[in-house]
Structure 1
Amino acid sequence: MPEGVRLLHHVADGPAGAPALILGPSLGTSLAVWEPQAAALARHFRVVRFDLPGHGGSAAVPLSSMGDLAGRVLDLAGALGVERFHYAGISLGGAIGAWLAAHHPGRIESLALLCSAARFGEPEAWRDRAALVRAEGTGPLASAALGRWFTEEGARTPAAQRLAADLAAADPDGYADCCDALAGYDLRGHLARITAPTLVVAGRDDPATPPAVARELADGIPGAALAEIPRAAHLANVERPEAVLAALRGHLPVPDGMTVRRAVLGDEHVDRAVAATTGFTADFQDFITRYAWGEIWTRPGLDRRTRSCITLTALVAGGHLEELAMHVRAAVRNGLTPDEIKEVLLQTAVYCGVPAANAAFAVAQRTLGRT
């Protein structure tokens, strides 16, 4: 990344050790456009949402092509230490992901393209919009944008008004540069180069990228699946959040029991447990991997931080101090701070008894290296 250029503004949620999922927004919106799905997806993935240049919290930087935008996303992934990642994007955000999947296939684990296209109409229309915004700002676009983004019913919702505010706040140069990138974007001849498992999502009432455009993507990308969302326009994930979440959940690979076990307990611990497995204990190791880690820890109802809090409490109550040390380390890996672990143990003093909490504090202090 050029010296002095800041990373795209971003927010990361979910377990630090979970597979990375980068979510790209549509033109004129901010990372808030993914709020309907972010929390649910963060139960299984390290979810990274970003703002386009000149949008939300990202500074406007000179760019003129989809490759420039994609390069900014790769800069962000590099800064976060992420080599390979799952990617889902809406409209322009989807185009960024498709460009990455075609030109940097080794970086993309899976791809979801929401209300996107291989080419977004005639280049001149985008150049005209860029000129208008540079001259007058994004104000003249507001009414037409709501009509593209939402059905008539959806445009009256608070969510629609919040996203309209994002458009009004966008930097004119940053927005116009994104229009220039769209003007030069045409991936139709390169779709067959995309090898990542791909889901294409279309809003059935989308006037900007209608289902026929989505089918062009799905037909051109080998093995791609297509899902159409009824009663949804261009921002289908905002207008029909549960339907889009269900489609994404069906597409994204939910980590299996061993993957989650390693993410929570660490490779070193799991490798020792596997190496110590005997014919007598093999069935038990298989049981806890499939049931505890594959069925319980992967359920979407609670995030891993919350599950760590519950597990610590249960182990204190049962007096399982050796397992407690293991799960204190796991709690840190799941994002709990030592102060938060202390609060959990204080809570156990009330409900599990002072002697149990006293022993637990001793174990936790040794494990955390506190004096």
Structure 2
Amino acid sequence: MPTALLHHTVDGPACAPPLLLGNSLGTSTALWDGVARGLSATRRVVRWDLPGHGRSAAGLIAPGATVADLADHVLGLADHLGLDRFSYAGVSLGGAIGLHLAVHHPERVDRLGVLCASASFGDPRPWRRRAALVRRAGTAPVADTAAARWFTPGFSHPGLLADLRATAPEAYAACCDALAAYDLRGVLASIGAPTLIMAGREDPVTPPAHAREIADAIPGAALIELPRTSHLAPAERPEAVLVALRGHFAPAREAGMAVRRAVLGDAHVDRAQARTTLLTEDFQDFITRYAWGEVWTDPTLDRRERSLITLAALVAHGHWDELALHAVAARRNGLTPEEISAVLRHMAVYCGVPAANKAFATVQRALDDVL
């Protein structure tokens, strides 16, 4: 197992379930910029750069490398972060690494997303020719034609194209060696992790037929084809990719329970769960799935902003018990006493001084109880 680490970034709560995101050949962690923030609402999202890409050292890979070598680097990173088991999503070469992990290290991967990838990237000879070209002339020749392979007509991402030009040629070529040797077509049926396959309908590199081959081979795999999308789906269609991956990696109840505990605290949620009866269990499930799993996980507003809104709404409707609960939650979400006071003074203007008086007393008692 390699000892040197891939460059990586981590977003999301430290206690949330981990999700690793892998990149395609020639790109960096910037590939996931439009998706990672939304995923990190309920996941500990780890993005990493391939060797010689982004900020990872080129010396982490050598000529004749394999996808297994790259997968070992991912496992080394996971071990360094203390992640015994994780979810994984990857694009193209990053997706191939995910498939390799799910086949050869099934105990490490609990859920898998494979985007714009293949079980085999075709005849190895073009990959070897590309490796030879890049070793001879650098990445400029492949960068000049990358937009046509990566994006639909009219779309561009200058940052990713710049990343390709900045990629270390020897590392890029070694990744081409890995793609040339890669073929998992005979072993995909052994994958047991719940798997989502995504394809861009206008992808010339890994067309939808490649995705269907993977989906047909993995038991129970789901397949989504994105219209008006080429090879780098997270860059070109971040909203669609985010919705699909959130649904796959954080089903509403699971996501809702994680956020509910993060906002209200384990003690409160445990008490609510212990009091659940045949009468209330469906309602508890509804609250977890809808209020916490869909509304509170929507990345349009952060948790501080949602606490501000919630406090105001509870004062306006006189829900004093819920106000006490959410005053404590607001502190947990990062609001200061001064900010909570500002909300209540604001409500004095629009809901009346008597309501604000009651709100201040309720909130003070709630905060005193937890100090």
TM-score, with length taken from structure 2? 0.81
Q: Which runs of 5+ in 2 are unaligned?
A: 349-355
Mapping for residues 1-371 of structure 1, pairs under 5 Å: 2-3=2-3, 5-12=4-11, 14-63=12-61, 64-154=65-155, 157=156, 159=157, 161-256=158-253, 257-275=256-274, 277=275, 283=279, 287=283, 289-298=284-293, 299=295, 300=298, 301-311=300-310, 320=321, 322-324=324-326, 326-328=328-330, 330-331=332-333, 336=334, 340-342=335-337, 344-348=339-343, 350-352=345-347, 360=363, 364=367, 367=370
Query: For the Cα contact (< 8 Å) 1:89–1:114, is it kept in 2?
Result: yes
Distance 1:174 1:21 in 2: 25
Q: Secondary structure at the match of 1:297?
A: helix
Asked whether the 8 Å contact 2:199–2:208 carries over to 1, the reply is yes
- SS at the partner of 2:126? helix
Residue deviations 1:299-340 (CA, integer Å, cap 9, x gap): 225344433444456668866575256425642xxxx3xxx5
| Percent of residue pairs bearing the same amino acid type | 54
C-alpha distance 227-341 of structure 1, shift in aligned 2 (>3 A): same
8 Å contact from structure 1 (residues 10, 51) kept in 2: no
Two-structure CA RMSD over aligned residues (Å): 3.1
Q: Is the contact made by 1:29 and 1:56 (CA closer than 8 Å) also made in structure 2? A: yes
CA contact (8 A) 1:316 1:357 kept: no
Following the alignment from structure 1 to structure 2, what is the Cα–Cα distance between the partners of residues 322 and 240? Answer: 41
Contact 2:328–2:367 under 8 Å retained in 1 = no
In structure 2, distance between residues paired with 1:230 and 1:145 = 20
Structure-2 change in CA distance of 1:7 and 1:360 (3 Å): farther
Once residues 264 and 234 of structure 1 are traced to their aligned partners in structure 2, the CA distance between those partners, rounded to angstroms, is: 38
Question: Secondary structure at the residue paired with 1:294?
Answer: helix
1:99 to partner: Cα distance: 0.8
- What residue identity is the alignment partner of 1:45? R
Equivalent pair of 2:52/2:167 in contact (CA under 8 Å): yes
Distance change >3 Å, CA 33–CA 343, structure 1 → 2: farther
Provide the C-alpha distance between the structure 1 equivalents of 2:243 and 2:272, rounded to a whole number of angstroms.
35
1:67–1:263 distance in 2 versus 1, CA, 3 Å: farther
Q: Which amino acid aligns with 1:197?
A: P
CA distance in 2, matches of 1:227, 1:147: 22
**Secondary structure, counterpart of 2:197 in structure 1:** strand
Aligned-pair CA distance for 1:95: 0.6
Task: Give, in angstroms, the shift of residue 98 of structure 1.
Answer: 0.6
What TM-score do the two structures reach when normalised by structure 1? Answer: 0.81
Whether contact under 8 Å (1:44, 1:254) holds in the other structure is no
User: For residue 343 of structure 2, what is the amino acid of its counterpart?
Assistant: T
Correspondence for 2:351: none
The alignment of Structure 1 onto Structure 2 pairs a total of residues equal to: 351
In 2: Cα distance, 1:74 partner to 1:35 partner: 23
In the alignment, residue 50 of structure 2 is paired with which amino acid? L
CA contact (8 A) 1:328 1:364 kept: no
Deviation at 1:358, TM superposition (A): 8.6
Looking at structure 2, the residues matched to 73 and 2 of structure 1 have their Cα atoms a distance apart, in angstroms, of: 9
Provide the rounded CA distance (Å) in 1 between the counterparts of 2:303 and 2:107.
Answer: 29
Q: How far off is 1:295 after superposition?
A: 1.3
